[in-house]
Structure 1
Amino acid sequence: PTAGWWGALVGPGRALDTDRWFVVAPNVLGGCQGSTGPASRRPGGKAWGSAFPRLTQRDQVRAEVGLADALGIGRWALVIGGSMGGMRALEWAVGEPRRVGALLLLACPAAAGAEQIAWASAQLHAIRADPHWRGGDYHDAGPGRGPHTGLGIARRIAHVTYRSAGELQSRFGHEAQEGEHPWRGGRYRVESYLDHQAAKLVRRFDAASYVALVEAMNTHDIGRGRGGTRAALGRVRARTVVAGVDSDHLYPLVQQAELAAGIPSADGVRVVRSPYGHDGFLLETEQVGGLVRELLAGAPDQPGRRTGVEPA
Structure 2
Amino acid sequence: MPLASLPAPIAGRNRMTRKMIVDAIRSDPSWRGGDYGDTQPTQGLTTALYVLTWMGSCPLQWQKECPDAASADAFLDRRVQEGLRTTDANNLLYQVASSADYDPRPLLGRIAAPLTAVNSADDQVNPPELGLLEAGIGQVAGGRAVVLPISDETRGHGTHTYAALWKDELVALLERSGGQL
Task: Classify the TM-score, shorter chain.
Answer: 0.7 to 0.9
How far apart, in 2, do the equivalents of 1:281 and 1:272 lie?
A: 11
Is 1:129 the equivalent of 2:40? no
1:232 counterpart = 2:107: yes
Count of matched residue pairs: 174
Gaps of 5+ in 1: 1-103, 177-188, 223-228, 302-306, 308-312
2:85 equivalent in structure 1: 203
- Which residue of structure 2 lines up, in the alignment, with residue 17 of structure 1? none
> 1 CA distance for matches of 2:43 and 2:80?
9
Residues 252 and 124 of structure 1, relative CA distance in 2, 3 Å threshold: same
Equivalence map 1:182-201=2 (5 Å): 189-201=71-83
Match of 1:266 in 2: 143
TM-score (norm 2): 0.84
DSSP-derived class of the 1:220 partner: coil
Which structure dedicates a bigger proportion of its chain to helix? 2
Alignment of 1:277-292 (within 5 A): 277-283=156-162, 285-292=163-170
1:244 aligns with 2:142: no
**2:13 aligned partner:** 115
Residue 246 of structure 1 and its aligned partner are, at CA, apart by: 1.2
Equivalent residue of 2:99, what SS?
A: helix
Segments of 5+ residues of structure 2 without an aligned counterpart are none
Q: Deviations over 1:117-156 (max 9, x none)?
A: 11112112221232320111113xxx3x121332232122
User: What whole-Å deviation, never above 9, does each CA across 1:170-214 have from its counterpart, x for those lacking one?
Assistant: 3213332xxxxxxxxxxxx22321222222233233211111111
Name the aligned partner's letter for residue 67 of structure 2.
Answer: G
CA contact (8 A) 1:244 1:272 kept: yes
- Post-superposition Cα deviations, 1:73-126, rounded to whole Å, max 9, x if no partner, equal xxxxxxxxxxxxxxxxxxxxxxxxxxxxxxx01121221122111111211222
TM-score (normalizing by structure 1): 0.51
Structure 2 distance, partners of 1:194, 1:157, is: 11
Does the residue aligned with 1:262 lie in a helix, a strand or coil?
Answer: coil
Deviation at 1:299, TM superposition (A): 5.3
CA distance in 1, matches of 2:73, 2:99: 27
Q: Which has the higher contact order (CA 8 A, sep 6+)?
A: 2
Residue number in structure 2 paired with 1:212: 94
Q: CA separation in 1, counterparts of 2:69 and 2:82?
A: 23
Please provide the CA RMSD for this pair: 2.2
Distance 1:138 1:165 in 2: 35
Counterpart residue identity of residue 77, structure 2? D
- Which residue in 2 is equivalent to 1:163? 57
Mapped partners of 1:107, 1:259: distance in 2: 14
